[in-house]
Structures are given as structure tokens and as C-alpha cells.
Structure 1
Amino acid sequence: MSATTEESAAASAIRPFTIEVPEAELEALRVRIAATHWPDKETVPDQSQGVQLATSQALARYWATDHDWRRCEAKLNALPQFITEIDGLDIHFIHVRSERDDALPLIVTHGWPGSVLENLKIVGPLTDPVAHGASESDAFHLVIPSVPGHGFSGKPTTTGWGPDRIARAWAELMRRLGYTRYVAQGGDWGAIITELMGVQAPPELLGIHSNMPGAVPPHIDRALQSGNPLPSDLPDDERRACEQLAFVYQHIAYALMMGDRPQTLTGLADSPVGLADFMLDHDARSLDLISRVFAGHPEGLTRDDVLDNITLYWLTNTAISSARLYWENKYPLFAVKGVSVPVAVSVFPDELYQAPRSWAEQAYPKLIHYNKLDRGGHFAAWEQPQLFSEEIRTGFRSLR
């Protein structure tokens, strides 16, 4: 795959970026999909063995014949995209400024197996709130970067690019863009990166928002991971959260593999359908939703949404480079990290776990917003952009 940038002598320059995928690469992708070596059908009537063969084959049929990458490419190229070098690595980002000059700058970070694509549906509602039924005073300037090793950002060739280093890079990116005050948001890896920004607390950072909060008390997290008994006097909502987390820890084989042996996952770089199935099997609720989508019942996401994202990973050959973030990480996925800045939390019902208010209040001494939603899952901005945008507006309103 190739992309064009406007050359600049200074490494710290901000260079416009345009995506240009050669047609030969798209044709080669279709050939590989058609040549998939299929496994036998699962021996159970449910998803307890993983992505079902019918879902994989429905995805492959649509991918090979009906999915149009050019539509996705045009959607990305219609937005202002840039590349800048930070700490020796090229960082790709989308930067959409509101027409309102005093809009609040916001940096939004995706996770795995996501990309900048999962945040495109919130661009309009947040930068132009009036057009989407909200108040003009709730406008944001949006910065949406690709995490190193993901999408169009550079792939680290040395160790050390963990979420803490990315957090520092994001602070530098916002300074480079001239923002002297801003807020940050993230889910999945984006939540961890954003929380570490809150730990590092650069002076320009006013506060953060998370839809996957690291709010689990450390002693609870240790007990869940070790199998030791939990406290017997937990309230119902905390016990339910523990049950959800215990399920996650039992079914997080993808993260364990990427965290321990990412380079072994060569098959993800060699088989489009193998990559797709690995990405689909992130969490049970998301897989349920996506399986329904490919069975002809779209809700929140469409077939094109799902395949745009998988195709992006394939064309950028980032299956392995993105996996290395799990290997680099030294921080707990869900436990308290010591955030010192104001924090807003949105709890979606189909997230990996529903953080109780009591945990959020303990984890974030400056909790400024907590709300439980009635629909939405792990990829909240992608699945429920209207609800998500409303949460962002409400969560950050007190920091303007």
C-alpha cells in the first residue's frame, strides 16, 4: 500500500496526508479471500468455540464481492489528515476544527481491534453540534490519531512504545497543534493511554473521559486474576462487575497471545479471513452483534463498518505491529492507575464490565461525571455515536 505526503524538511512539521491504495492490492486481497482454506464447522450450536463458520463465510462472501474500500478511502480523504514525527516515529492523525473558534480541543484515541474509523461517526456531532440538535457552546475541535503500530501511523522498530510513551506523544501532538488547554477521551487501549495522560497530567490537560474505566480496586483485580476468594460483603453491582471481569479474564486468549508471543501470529498477516476472525473474537457481546450483522440484522454497526476496519488492518499490514502493544504494556487493563485530573465516566451495558459508581468514586478523586447508558457496547462511539456524543458533551461541560 502507498500513501502520499507533502514533504517537509523539518521532522516536527505537520504534513498533509492522503490515502491512495493501488488497485492491484485490492485485487490481491480479493484473490486471497477466495482462496481461503476453510476449517470444519464447529461442533457446538453456539459461539463457545469461537467465531462460527457461517459468520466467517458470510463475511468472506461480502468482502470478496460487495465491499467497496474506495468508499471508505474517500470518506477518510474527505477529512483533514496529517502526519507528524514525534519521538522518531511518524504519527498519523485526523484534525477537524469546529467553525466555532472557542470550541474545546479534544483528542480521541481508539483501541484494538479498532482504528480511527471507529471515531468517524462522532466528528460531525462534536464539531458541529447545532446541526445535530445540540448547543453551539458544546462544540469541540477534534484530534483523532492512529496509535503507533496501527493504521497509518509508523510501526515501531525498537521496543519501548507502550501506552505511557504514547500518552506523552499525544501531549506533544496537542502542543504542536497549538492547544494550550484540551481534554482527552479513549476506549479500550485508548482508555489506558488516556488514563496515563491523566496520571502524567500535562498542564494543558483539563480532564479525561473513559468508556472503559480503569476503576477496579487493585485487591479485587489481583483476586480475580489469581482465582483467590473475593470479599464476601460486596454490594450487588460490585459483585456483578466481578463476575463480568472473571469472564473476561477467562476468555482473553487473544490478549494473552499478543502479550506474550505477538511475532508468532504470522497467520494474521498472511490470511485475510484469519485476520478477520481474530479481530471479530474480541469480546462476546461484540461478536454477538457482528454475527447478527452478517446474518442480515444490522444494529449499531453495518457489514461495511466491520469490513472497512478489517481492510484497513490488512492494507497497512498492521496485524503484528498492533499486537506488540500488548507485549509492551506494563499497566493493568482494568485496575486503578492513579489519575489525578478530573474524570468523566460513561458505562455502556455491553462493555467488558460495568464499572460501579462506588469504584469510579474511589478510583477518580476528581470524578465530574458518571452515567450508565441503556445501550451500547465496547465500541461505543462506533455503535452508538449519538449517545456517545451526548456523553462527551455532558461529561466535559464543567471544564469549559
Structure 2
Amino acid sequence: MNLRDFKINIPAEQIEDLRRRLRATRLPSSLDADQWDDGASLVFMQRLAEYWLNRFDWRAQEARLNRLPQHLATVDGLDLHFVHQPGKGPAPMPLVLTHGWPGSFIEMEHIIPLLADPAANGGDPADAFHVVVPSLPGFGFSAPPTVPGVDSYRVAELWAKLMHGLGYGRFAAQGGDIGAGVSTWLARRFPEQIIGVHINYIPGSYQPPLGDGLPPITAEEQAFLDTAAAWSNTEGAYAAEQGAKPQTLAYAMADSPVGLAAWITEKFRTWSDCDGDVERVFTMDELLTNISIYWFGHMLDASFRFYKESRMRPQVFTASEHVTGPLGMAVFPCELPTPPRSWVERVFNVQRWTPMPRGGHFAALEQPELLVEDIRAFFRPLR
């Protein structure tokens, strides 16, 4: 795998180029500068741009992130970036955590120590995990794909090879957003390697078998389908664009840091449990560290293209398919439309389904303690 250590070190000229572009920002007009109904608020974006230019300290964030044990490994010709935090306990369970879009590996920053060293964080050392957090290909500091076809299905194969290369013959998987798709593909494609899967999102591409000879759609399931369709109509334009013409979108985002920030920040506000105030959940530094990783990565075309690749290979199941490995689901109330348990049980062996009291799409950032406790509880009987 050509395993080697890695430290983030963005060249000074790239930081200065970002500052130059921020100084030259040309903002649009707005009918109402405060509101978010048409997209990112002009007032908020003016404040974010000013903070990014004059107060945000990338080097401080870089130094903090470099305290994480980061590595690169070459898997099937791709250089994959990942955090590998060995667990502290009598028998840590290997666990791969997968992020999504518009997140990055730093989504997991708060939960890594809680999972790896529970005794140091008020938990039971018997719940320890060996934690591996890769960056998706074309995200963060992982190399972008050079050929078509790299989607959640393919990433599951890359992760299986990465974990095997790290010495983990069997391991657990967890994720939200794209990470949920990768985790469920792992269970479907490599059942002999997967101890169990815990997710906090049901992939939109998941399609259980329906039709003659199969249970009819329940009223609860139909209500979910109606809600998902309505959500797609009002909130799904980003996915339609990224899933259809990612290259066109990348020209704008690769050239304008404020454009990129608006594209990402709107999702952090809309998809989180923030009641309309994104800074109630995320600090400006947290938002901008994640956005800066996208900016400095110079791989926006690849991260957008992931949607197109995944759309071309949805998780469609046949009537004879059933994933027998255990699955757990943490249901956060402000998540994107979530199907009822029965919809998932048409294919998966659901052993835990936990309604959460608060939190949204970015659960590892929003409610790390709640998410970690559910992960621990789900995997405890599987050890």
C-alpha cells in the first residue's frame, strides 16, 4: 500500500492567492439581504468573507488538525488520505468512519477520541475502537479519480483493501451522507469482512424491491416518499446539478472562494438543527476550516462528480437480496427526509433504530456525544 505519514502543509502562495481572491470578491445584489429564501444570505456572506480575509487563521487550524495521526496509502493506484487512531482498551474493534458532501474528514474530529479512548472520555474501555477515517477520493487530501466509475460502490472496495492493508481482516463501518452509502455497500459487497454497519442517514439511492408478490407500500412509507419528493423539488437542485453537469459547476467554485463558501454554507444551515442560525451550531472557524479544505484541495470537479457517478449506480435491490449483517440507525430529527424502519427492513437486518432528541445531517459535528453513545451501544453485543 506504500503507507506513509502525512502532515497538512498548504504552501504560503496558495494562502496568499486565497486572500487576493477574497479581496477582489464581487458580491451579487439581493432583494432582501438578510433572508435565506433564495439561497445564502448576502449579509451573512459579507460577514463570512470579511472574517475569512481578516480573522481566520488557517495556520492555526492546520496545526490543530496535524495533531491527528494522518497517513497516505496507495490503493489501486489512488493515494488515499486517512486518519488512523489506534484504540486504547482491552480489545478495540476496528472501525472505518466515512464522511460525505459537503463535509470532510474533519467531521469526525470530535468523535475520534471518544471512540478510540473511551476511558479518557468518561466511557468504558471495553467500548474502544481502532478508528480509521479516510478522505473520499477527490475530497480533502485524497487524490482525485483519473477514470470514471468511482462512486460509493467502488469506494467500498477501496476501503476494504485499505482496512486489510492496515491489518484489519474484519471491521465495523459507520457513516452519514455519502458515508452511509459506502458503509451499506461494504455490508452488501463484503459481508465476510464486515462486523456490522451503523449509519445516521439512509442513502437517497437506496431502492428496496417493490411490486407483485412483495409487501405493499404502507401509509407511513408512502408519506415518506411524498415528503422526499417534495424535499427534492424545493431543496434538491444542488444534487441535480452535481449529478448532471459537475464540470460546469466546478468552473465557478474553483475560481471564487466566496461562491464555494455560499454553496457549502447554505447546506450547513439548511441541513443542521440550528433553527435558522447556523452559528448556533457551527463556529465561523469550523465552517471555514471545512470550506478551506475544499478550496486548497483543488479537486472540486471530483467532489461534485461523485454525485454523477453515484446517480449512475443506485443501490437497487432485487426481490431475492437481503443483507444479513447487522445494521443500526441513529435518526436525528433535522436530518434530510428519513424513511420509516419498515422501508429499510425490506432489505437490511435492522437491529437498532434510535430516534435522537436533537441534531441534524452533520451528526458527528452537531451531537458527537449522542452519536458516539449510539455507536458504542450498537456494536457492544457484536464484540
Query: Common fold, TM-score beyond 0.5?
Result: yes
1:324 alignment partner, one of 287, 300, 305:
305
Per-residue CA distance 1:215-257 (angstroms, 9 max, x = gap): 89848999xxxxxxxx89603xx45533431233112111111
Q: How much has 1:23 moved relative to structure 2? A: 2.2
| 1:267 equivalent in structure 2 | 252
Helix, strand or coil: the match of 2:48?
helix
| 1:13 equivalent in structure 2 | 2
Whether contact under 8 Å (1:90, 1:153) holds in the other structure is yes
Q: How much has 1:101 moved relative to structure 2? A: 5.2
| 1:137 equivalent in structure 2 | 126
Whether contact under 8 Å (1:171, 1:202) holds in the other structure is no
Q: How much has 1:188 moved relative to structure 2? A: 0.6
Paired with 1:126 and 1:288, the residues of 2 have a C-alpha distance of 23
> Structure 2: 5+ residue runs without aligned partners?
none
Whether contact under 8 Å (2:140, 2:293) holds in the other structure is yes
Paired with 1:39 and 1:109, the residues of 2 have a C-alpha distance of 35
Whether contact under 8 Å (1:91, 1:148) holds in the other structure is yes
Amino acid at match of 1:260: A
| 1:382 equivalent in structure 2 | 365
1:56/1:43 CA distance change after superposition, 3 Å? same
Paired with 2:53 and 2:273, the residues of 1 have a C-alpha distance of 22
Give yes or no for the alignment of 1:61 onto 2:61: no
1:73/1:217 CA distance change after superposition, 3 Å? closer
1:187/1:28 CA distance change after superposition, 3 Å? same
| 1:226 equivalent in structure 2 | none
Whether contact under 8 Å (1:42, 1:53) holds in the other structure is no
1:215/1:166 CA distance change after superposition, 3 Å? closer
For these two proteins, the number of residue pairs brought into alignment is 374
Q: How does 1:10-159 map to 2 (within 5 A)?
A: 12-43=1-32, 46-100=35-89, 102-159=91-148
Paired with 2:305 and 2:152, the residues of 1 have a C-alpha distance of 11
Q: How much has 1:77 moved relative to structure 2? A: 1.1
Give yes or no for the alignment of 1:370 onto 2:359: no
Amino acid at match of 1:389: V
TM-score, with normalisation over the residues of structure 2?
Answer: 0.91
| 2:376 equivalent in structure 1 | 393
Give yes or no for the alignment of 1:258 onto 2:239: no
Amino acid at match of 1:354: T
Whether contact under 8 Å (1:215, 1:335) holds in the other structure is no
Which stretch shows the higher mean deviation, 298-307 or 340-349? 298-307
TM-score, with normalisation over the residues of structure 1?
Answer: 0.87
1:42/1:101 CA distance change after superposition, 3 Å? farther
Whether contact under 8 Å (1:201, 1:340) holds in the other structure is no
CA RMSD of aligned residues (A): 2.5
Helix, strand or coil: the match of 2:6?
strand
Paired with 2:272 and 2:206, the residues of 1 have a C-alpha distance of 28
